[in-house]
Structure 1
Amino acid sequence: MLTIVLPILIFAALGLTLIGAFRRIHLWRQGRPSRVDLLGGLLAMPKRYMNDLHHVVARDRYMANTHVATAGGFVLAAVLAILVHGVGVHQRVLTYALLCATALMGVGALFVFKRRLNPPSRLSKGPWMRLPKSLLVFAASFFILTLPVAGILPEGFGGWSLAALLGVGVVWGVGELFFGMTWGGPMKHAFAGALHLAWHRRPERFGGGRSTGLKALDLTDRRAPLGVEKPEDFTWNQLLGFDACVQCGKCEAACPAFAAGQPLNPKKLIQDMVVGMAGGTDAHFAGSPYPGKPLGEHGGTAHQPIVNGLVDADTLWSCTTCRACVEECPMMIEHVDAIVDMRRFLTLEKGATPNTGAQVLDNLIATDNPGGFAPGGRMNWAADLNLPLMRDKRSAHVLFWVGDGAFDMRNQRTLRAFVSVLKAAGVDFAVLGLEERDSGDVARRLGDEATFQALATRNIQTLAQYAFSCIVTCDPHSFHVLKNEYGALGGDYRVQHHSTYMAELIEGGLLELKPDTGGRVTYHDPCYLGRYNGEYEAPRQVLRALGLEVQEMQRSGFRSRCCGGGGGAPITDIPGTQRIPDMRMADIRETGVERVAVGCPQCTAMLEGVVAPRPQIKDLAELVADALVERATAPGLAKHNTQEVVA
C-alpha cells in the first residue's frame, strides 16, 4: 500500500510547496522594486551558502557541525527520497545513498534536539521546539522505508501496523519540512534564506567583501518615499531578507541596547517586519519581547504605518547603529539598514526626532556643527600651533580632517597630540580650517538624509579645490562617512584612520618612540573602525610598538561591545535599565588594567562619562605623543620619506 500512497504524499507535498512558494513570493513582491541579477544570484547562491554563510555559522562549532549534518543530510535525503520513493528509481546505489543521507540527517537532528533540551534564552521557542522532532521523524521514516527497497529487510517487513506508523511519520516529516518551507514554520528560513543569499541587498558582502555604507536616497525623485513608513515601502529583497530570519537570537545577544534594557530587540524587530508583511500581530512571537513592552499589543499589515502599529518609535531610536547584530547574523540580514530607513521617514516626513534630535539637526543646518557652536571657532584649539591651511598651500600629502572634536575641550587634546605626531614625523599635511564642515554622520544616522547630502556636497566641493594623497582623521565616524558614503555623491578619496596612519609611520621608522612604562593596557574597538571597516590590528600594532601589553576584553575585536555613542543614541537618549557605557566599563574593569586605549572621540566621551573610580582613558594619539623622542630632522627629507612610506 505504501508504494502507492507514498508517491502521492510526496508529490502532493511538493505541489503544495510550489503553491506556497508563489504565495511567499507574492508577499515579498509587495515591496518596492530593486534591481538584482536574478540568474547570476541563483548561480552564486551555493558558493555564498557554503563560504560566506558558514563562515559566520562556524563561529559556533557545535552548531556549524550540526547544521552541516542536518541541512546537508536533509537536502540530499529529500532529492533521493523523491527519486527512490516518488519516481520509483530503485537503483542500489541510490537506495544506499538515501540510507546514508537519512542517517547523517538523523545524527544532526539528535544534536539539534540536545540543544533544544535546555535552550539559551536568545533562541525562540514555540514552533522551533518541534523542529528537532520533525527532523528525526523524517529521517527515521525514510530510513526504515528504504531498508526493504535496498534489500536489507524483506518486503512487507513489520506488517500493517509499521506501515501505518511510517505513513504517519512521512506525513508529519514531509509536511513540516516540505510544506512548511513555503507556508510558514521553522523551515521557512531554508527557502527564504537561499533566495536571500541569491538576491541580497548588498551582494558585495560576499566573497570576503565589505559593504557598510548606508544607501543614499534619491531626493530628486518625487515618486520615491522619503524613508520607510509601511512594510511595503521596503524593497522586495529587504522583505525577503526579513523572511529569512532563523530566530537564532545571536543579534539579540550582541545588541547593546537590548542588554541595557532599552526597548529594542533586533530579532523581534525583524519578526515584526515579517508580521507586517503577511498581516497579523506579535501575540504568537515565541522569543524575548522588547524590554518593557509586553507581547500582543502590536500588529499591522503591509499597507499600514509601522510606527505605533508594529513597533513604537523609541524602539527605532534605541539603536546605536553599531552593526553588532549584522556581524553576528548567520543569515546576513541587514538590521541597521532597516532601522535607518524607518528613521528617515520619521525625521524627513514627520519631523519626529526625539529629545534634542531636532535641535542638533537645526544646529547642523545653521552652523555646520551639531553643537551649534559659532563656525568661526572651529580652529581656536590650534591657535598656537601655526597649522598649515589648504587654502594657502593648495596641495599637501595629507589632508588632516579635524572633525567636530574641534569644539570639544577633551578631544582637542587628542587633536593636538596627533598634530605633534605629524610634525614629529615631518609629514606634509594641512587642514581645511574654517572651510571644513561636519561630515554629516550624525544627520544621516538620525535619518536626515537631506542635511547629510547638503553637508557632504559642500565638503566635496571644497575638497575638489585641493590636491592631496589621502585624508587622515582621528574620528572613525568621519573616516567611515568620507571613505564609504561620499562616493555615491561624487567624492572618492583615500581615507585613513589615525591609528592606521600612525602604525605606518612607526613601521617606516619615521617616529622615534621611548618605551611606555605603563605596563598593561586594554583597547576598546570603536564600532565604526572595527565592524564597519575591519580595522582591528593597526591600533594594537601601535600599542605594541609603545612596549605595552594589550590585555584583551572578553568582548573585543568584531565582538566588541559598543560604547553607546553611535547612531545619535546620546542625542535621542532612550532610557533603559542601565547605561551602555557603564556596561562597557564593567568589561574594562574585568581586565584589571589602569588604562584604556581608545581611537574615537565619541568612545572617549562615553567612557569618560562613567562615574569614577575607573581606569584612565587615553586616545592612541595621546599615547604616541607622550612617547615621542624629540629629534632634529631635515624637514625636506622627512617629508620625502613620509610620502614613500604612506603613499
Structure 2
Amino acid sequence: MLETLLPILIFAALGLAVIGAIRRIRLWRQGRPAAVPLLKGLAALPRRYLVDLHHVVERDKMISNTHVATAGGFVAAAVLMILVHGLGLAQGVLGWLLLAASATMFVGSLFVARRRRNPPARLSKGPWMRLPKSLMAFSLSVFAITLPAVGILPADFGHWLLALVLAAVVVWGLGEMVFGMTWGGPMKHAFAGALHLAFHRRAERFSTKGGQGNRSTGLKALNLDDEAAPLGVETPADFTWNQLLGFDACVQCGRCESVCPALAAGQPLNPKKLIQDMVVGMAGGSNANYAGTPYPGKPTGEHHGSPHGPIVAPDATTGGKALVDAETLWSCTTCRACVEECPMMIEHVDAIVDMRRHLTLERGQTPNKGAEVLDNLIATDNPGGFDPGSRLHWAADLNLPLMADVKQAEVLLWLGDGAFDMRNQRTLRALVKILHAAEVEFAVLGTEERDSGDVARRLGDEATFQSLAKRNIATLSKYRFQRIVTCDPHSFHVLGNEYGELGGPDFNANWEVRHHSTFIAELYDAGRLAFAPWKGGSVTYHDPCYLGRYNGEFDAPRNVLKALGIEVKEMERSGFRSRCCGGGGGAPITDIPGERRIPDMRMNDVKETGSELVAVGCPQCTAMLEGVVDATAEVRDIAELVADALVARPAGEAVDASRRSAGKTTVEEVL
C-alpha cells in the first residue's frame, strides 16, 4: 500500500510546492526592478550558504551544530526520498544514505525541541512552536518507511492500519517541510532565504573564491535625476523585489531584537517586528498573528497594510493606522547591530532609511528638531546653523595651514561638525598637537569644508546630502594629499564609503580616509610618536558603531591604548557587539521618547567594568556619554589621552629611519 501511496504523496507535495513558489515569487515581484545577476547569484549560493551564513550562525555553537544536522539532514533526506521512494531507486547505497540522513535530521530536531521547551523571549512563538514536532514527523516517518526498502524489515511489514498511520505522518512531514516552504509557515525561510542569499542587494558582502567579502555598509544613493523613481519608499511595493525577498527570508530568531538599543531603551522599535510588518504589507493583512515581541507600548492587531498601501499613515493626527507608526522608524540609531547579528543577512537599516526618505522628502515629516537641522544644513552647511566663517575660531592660536594656501599636503585634516562644539574642540586641539609631534605635514580646508552630510542622509534628506557631498567632492578634487584624517567616524564612513558613488570611478583613487585612532597607531608603529607610561586609573573602551560595525576597525584604538601602557577592561558588549551610544542616525535630533536613555545603559555597561575612565573615538559618543547624570567614569577621546602622554623623541635622522623602515614616504616623494 505504501509503495503506491508514497510516490503520489511525494509528487503531490512537490507539485503544490511549485505552485506555492510561483505564488511567492509573484509577491516579491510586486517590488521595483533590481539589477541582479541571476545565474551568477545562483552559482554563488552554495558558498554563500555554507560559508558566509554559517560565519554568523556559528557564533552560537549549539545552534550552528543543530542547524547543520537539521537542515543538512533535511536537504539530503528530501533529495534521497524522491530517488528512493518517488522513483523506486532503493537498491544499493541510496536507501542506507536515506536512513543516515533522516536519522541525522531527527537528532537535530531533538535539539530544536530542547530549545523550544523554554524558548528565549526573543524567539517568536505561535506557529514556530510546532516546528520541532514537524521535523520529527518528517525524519521519523522517512526513516520508518525506508527500513523495508533496505531489507531491515520485511517488505510486507505491518498491515493497512500501520500503513495509513505512516502515510498520515508522512503527509504531516511533507506538508510542513515541502509544501510549507513556499506557502507559508516556519519553513518559508528555507526557500526565501536561499534565494535571498543568491540575489542579495549587497553581493559584495559575501566572500569570493580568492578572499573575503567586505562590510558594504554605505547607503545606496537615490537617482534624483530620474523623475519616475520614487523618493524613498511609501508602500511595500516601492521596495526593490529582492528587498521584499529578503524580508520574507526572516527566520524570526530575534537576534536582531536582542541587540537593538532602541528596543532595550523601550522605544517603539523592534527590528524583527519591522521586518515582519513589511512581509504583512507585501501579502496584505494585519499584524494580529505576529507571535513575537511587539513594539514597546504598541499592541499588535491594530495595524494593517497592503502592497500598494502606505507603510506609514499619511496623517497620524486622524488616528489612522497603517503598517507602522512614524516614531518606529525614527527610533532607529542606524547602529547596524541588527544587521551584524542577522543570520539571514537582512539589511534592516537600508529599509528604515528608505522609508525615512519618503517621510522627509515627500511629506516633510521629520520630527522634533529634524526640520530645523535640515534647514540649517541648507542655509549654513552645518547642522547647528553656525556661521561658516567661525569654523576655525577654536584654532585662532594654532596657525593651521590652509589647503587653499599650500595646495598639497601629506594629510588633509577633516574637522567635521565638531569644529563648532566646544567639547570636541579639545579633541581637535589634542589631535593637532599629535600631528605636530609626529612632524606630519597637514592642512585643513577651513571655511571651504562643509558638513559631510551624514546626518542629512540618515534623516532621509538625500537631496541635501548629495548637494553637500558634491560640493565637498569638488573642493577635495582641487588639492593633492595622501590621506584624509578625521576624529569623526561618521565623516570617516561617509567620505570613505558613500562619496565614491557620487564622485565617479576616480574618486578616492589617490588617497585614503583614516580615522584618527588608526592614523595615530600607524604613527606610533612608524616610530614617529613616543609616550610616557600610563599612570592613571582603570580604563575601558567604547567602540563607536560607525568605526567598528560599519568599518571593521576594532584593533587600532586598542593598540593605541596598549601603546600608552593601558590594559583595557572590556565591557561585556564590545567589539562588533558593542552597544550603541544612542547618537547615530539623527536619534538625538528626532528624540523619540522611551522608558530609559540609551547612553545611560551604555554608561551602566562601563560601570560594571569598574573602570574610572572610558576611552572613546567619536564626538557623538563623547557628547552622549558625557550627558549621563551621575556617571561613575570620566569620558575622554583617545586623542586627548595620547596628547597628554606625548614625550620628546629623537628627531631628524630617527624619524627618517623609522619612515624608511615602515615603508613610509613623504608627499613630495609621491607627487
Could you say which TM-score interval applies, normalised by the shorter chain?
over 0.9
* Residue number in structure 2 paired with 1:532: 550
Instruction: Encode CA deviations 1:373-394: one digit per residue, 9 max, x unaligned.
Output: 1111100110001111100100
SS of structure 2 residue aligned to 1:469? strand
Q: Residue 377 in 1 paired to residue 390 in 2?
A: yes
Deviation at 1:631, TM superposition (A): 4.8
Q: How many residues align?
A: 647
* Residue number in structure 1 paired with 2:32: 32
Q: Residue 363 in 1 paired to residue 381 in 2?
A: no
Q: Residue 133 in 1 paired to residue 138 in 2?
A: no
Map 1:227-246; keep pairs closer than 5 Å. Answer: 227-246=232-251
CA contact (8 A) 1:426 1:635 kept: no
SS of structure 2 residue aligned to 1:550? coil
* Residue number in structure 2 paired with 1:645: 664
Closer, same or farther: CA 435–448 of 1 in aligned 2, 3 Å: same
* Residue number in structure 2 paired with 1:326: 339
**Residue 5 of structure 1 aligns to which amino acid in structure 2?**
L
C-alpha distance in 2 between matches for 1:519 and 1:614: 13
* Residue number in structure 2 paired with 1:55: 55
Map 1:185-334; keep pairs closer than 5 Å. Answer: 185-207=185-207, 208=212, 209-308=214-313, 309-334=322-347
Q: Residue 440 in 1 paired to residue 445 in 2?
A: no
Deviation at 1:641, TM superposition (A): 3.4
SS of structure 2 residue aligned to 1:178? helix
Q: Which runs of 5+ in 2 are unaligned?
A: 314-321, 667-671
C-alpha distance in 1 between matches for 2:651 and 2:144: 82
CA contact (8 A) 2:332 2:585 kept: yes
CA RMSD of aligned residues (A): 1.4
- What is the aligned counterpart of 2:582 among 564, 571, 574? 564
Map 1:416-495; keep pairs closer than 5 Å. Answer: 416-490=429-503, 491-492=507-508, 493-495=511-513
C-alpha distance in 2 between matches for 1:175 and 1:301: 27
* Residue number in structure 1 paired with 2:596: 578
SS of structure 1 residue aligned to 2:147? helix
* Residue number in structure 1 paired with 2:106: 106
Q: Residue 554 in 1 paired to residue 559 in 2?
A: no
- What is the aligned counterpart of 1:350 among 363, 375, 382? 363
Deviation at 1:638, TM superposition (A): 6.2
* Residue number in structure 2 paired with 1:74: 74
C-alpha distance in 2 between matches for 1:636 and 1:485: 38
CA contact (8 A) 1:565 1:602 kept: yes
Q: Residue 172 in 1 paired to residue 172 in 2?
A: yes
SS of structure 1 residue aligned to 2:334? coil
**Residue 609 of structure 2 aligns to which amino acid in structure 1?**
T
Closer, same or farther: CA 546–236 of 1 in aligned 2, 3 Å: same
Deviation at 1:359, TM superposition (A): 0.1
SS of structure 1 residue aligned to 2:160? helix
C-alpha distance in 1 between matches for 2:144 and 2:653: 82
C-alpha distance in 1 between matches for 2:580 and 2:3: 59
Deviation at 1:636, TM superposition (A): 12
* Residue number in structure 1 paired with 2:648: 630
Closer, same or farther: CA 341–548 of 1 in aligned 2, 3 Å: same
C-alpha distance in 1 between matches for 2:126 and 2:26: 26
* Residue number in structure 2 paired with 1:388: 401
CA contact (8 A) 2:28 2:242 kept: yes
Deviation at 1:519, TM superposition (A): 4.2
C-alpha distance in 1 between matches for 2:368 and 2:203: 36
Closer, same or farther: CA 206–136 of 1 in aligned 2, 3 Å: same
C-alpha distance in 2 between matches for 1:152 and 1:632: 83
CA contact (8 A) 1:30 1:302 kept: yes
C-alpha distance in 2 between matches for 1:533 and 1:458: 24
Deviation at 1:481, TM superposition (A): 0.0
Q: Which moved more, 1:154-163 or 1:479-488?
A: 154-163
**Residue 394 of structure 1 aligns to which amino acid in structure 2?**
K
- TM-score, structure 1 as length reference: 0.99
Deviation at 1:159, TM superposition (A): 1.8
SS of structure 2 residue aligned to 1:518? coil
**Residue 355 of structure 1 aligns to which amino acid in structure 2?**
N
Identical columns (%): 73
Deviation at 1:574, TM superposition (A): 0.2
After TM superposition, the runs of 4+ consecutive aligned structure 1 residues lying more than 6 A away are none
Closer, same or farther: CA 379–283 of 1 in aligned 2, 3 Å: same
Deviation at 1:160, TM superposition (A): 2.2
* Residue number in structure 2 paired with 1:405: 418
* Residue number in structure 2 paired with 1:619: 637
Closer, same or farther: CA 246–531 of 1 in aligned 2, 3 Å: same
CA contact (8 A) 1:597 1:618 kept: yes
Deviation at 1:613, TM superposition (A): 3.9
CA contact (8 A) 1:76 1:101 kept: yes
CA contact (8 A) 1:32 1:236 kept: yes
SS of structure 2 residue aligned to 1:92? coil
- TM-score, structure 2 as length reference: 0.95
Deviation at 1:63, TM superposition (A): 0.4
Q: Which runs of 5+ in 1 are unaligned?
A: none
SS of structure 2 residue aligned to 1:506? helix
